[in-house]
């Protein structure tokens, strides 16, 4: 005979506020196979009284087998579902970015050439990635420049370069996508890619410094290293390819 697992949940459900964490907590409990005894707190007074009665500062609050587990984050921890801690390093942003730009390039390449995989799609993968990375930097150029100055060799000698870099990367990416004005895009990509690769290599592999990468913007938790080096090598490779492509095609 199967025994139904039950959990008790108190969460805010007010006319002007439906607690997102409460919804997540209810969904997580149900996903884990629990029948949820849901107790909506429908007013501020009712919420404050609940907090005072149970000696808690936040809602939602969940109980399992009579034991208070806590809120949504506590439930995730209870079920062994790891949450990324604030400031914890992660490669998720760049994995998501490169996965999306790859799929976009393959889709656009298929429309343009009728082939699932093509040279054009490979070119667009690099140029789309450059544009996406530039966008992330351009959201907050001030924060990006501060992080960038931690390791870029040229920016540390000439600060304006830290502000110019995201615009230069975006310009090169757009022009390479359009296959237009190669005489601008190739030298720009080759220059910023070479300086960037040398800077990352020195900071990470020679100086052995542990830094956050500015590649996805100034609020990045991505560790400086392979990803940033790859970004710069992509730009160098794309510039070299566009230089030699006319002779090969």
Buried b (16+ CB within 10 A) or exposed e, 27-43: ebbeeeebebebeebee
CATH number assigned to the domain with residue range 5-78, chosen from the 4 options 3.40.30.10, 3.20.190.10, 3.40.50.10860, 3.40.50.720: 3.40.30.10
Residues 216-238: pLDDT tens digits? Answer: 665 666 666 677 888 889 899 99
Enter the pTM of the model: 0.81
Domain limits, the chain: 5-78, 92-248
Give the whole-angstrom CA distance, residue 110 versus residue 221: 34
E strand segments, the chain: 5-14, 17-18, 34-41, 61-64, 67-70
Closest CA to 25 of 83, 66, 85, 70: 70
Distance set, CA 151 to CA 85, 226, 236 (Å): 25, 14, 19
pLDDT band at 1 (very low <50, low <70, confident <90, very high): very low
Least confident piece of the model among 89-103, 155-169, 191-205: 89-103
Mean pLDDT rounded to a whole number for the chain: 89
Structure tokens at 173: 């990416």
Distance set, CA 80 to CA 6, 25, 68, 74 (Å): 18, 14, 16, 10
């Amino acid at each position: 005979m199967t025994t139904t697992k039950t959990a008790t949940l108190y969460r805010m459900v007010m006319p002007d506020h439906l607690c997102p964490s409460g919804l997540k907590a209810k969904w997580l409990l149900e996903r884990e196979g629990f029948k949820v005894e849901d107790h909506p707190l429908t007013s501020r007074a009712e919420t404050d009284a609940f907090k005072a009665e149970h000696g808690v500062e936040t809602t939602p609050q969940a109980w399992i087998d009579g034991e208070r587990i806590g809120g949504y984050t506590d439930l995730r921890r209870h079920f062994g579902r790891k949450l990324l801690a604030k400031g914890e390093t992660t490669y998720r942003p760049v994995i998501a970015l490169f996965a999306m730009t790859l799929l976009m390039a393959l889709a656009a390449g298929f429309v343009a050439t009728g082939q699932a995989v093509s040279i054009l799609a490979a070119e667009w993968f690099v140029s789309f990635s450059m544009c996406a990375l530039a966008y992330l930097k351009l959201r907050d150029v001030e924060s990006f420049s501060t992080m960038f100055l931690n390791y870029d060799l040229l920016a540390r000698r000439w600060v304006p370069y830290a502000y110019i870099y995201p615009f230069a990367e975006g310009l090169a990416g757009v022009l390479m996508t359009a296959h237009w004005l190669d005489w601008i895009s190739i030298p720009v990509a080759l220059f910023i890619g070479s300086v960037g690769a040398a800077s990352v290599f020195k900071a990470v592999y020679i100086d052995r410094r542990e830094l956050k990468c500015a590649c996805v913007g100034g609020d990045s938790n991505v560790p400086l290293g392979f990803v940033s080096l790859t970004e710069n090598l992509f730009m160098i490779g794309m510039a070299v390819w566009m230089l030699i492509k006319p002779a090969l095609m």
